[in-house]
Structure 1
Amino acid sequence: MSDEELHSVRIHLDRLLAERGMTLTELSAQVGITVVNLSILKNGRAKAIRFSTLSRICEVLDCQPGDLITHDPSNGPG
């Protein structure tokens, strides 16, 4: 299996940011990670996320991990 393998995990950062009227840059500053790394996460290209980062994003966006990340097997590799 290659590093470029598709997966069925979806990130809903765009929706959460829009609902809260927040930009990626603002989130980056509050979470303490780079805009580039948040962009990689937002675009579904991240291979992993640290629990500490996930916790901080959830704190800043006032959400649960399930609001940010979902699993959609019908959208996965196939």
Structure 2
Amino acid sequence: MTCTPGRTLTLRGKARPLGEVNIGFELTSTSAGGCTILMTEDVATGPGLAVPRMVRDPLIRMRNIETLQRLRLLAERNDS
């Protein structure tokens, strides 16, 4: 795990049964006082590496969209 406060966060997570994944978050300030978050994720170890990237990318993208939507809801709920 690495972290640059207010800028980046890198984690190692488990994605059973695919193995472990590297997850990255990059924050960019907006003019409205908030931020945008870029989330990246890919398999790092385990059987998931045998799945071609062009197959696993759409699945990871769907999962990350859901993750970012949940994060947005939490941030907006705590902001009010």
TM-score, scaled to structure 2: 0.30
Between structures 1 and 2, the one with greater strand share: 2
RCO higher in 1 or 2 (8 Å CA, sep ≥ 6)? 1
TM-score, normalized by length of structure 1?
A: 0.31
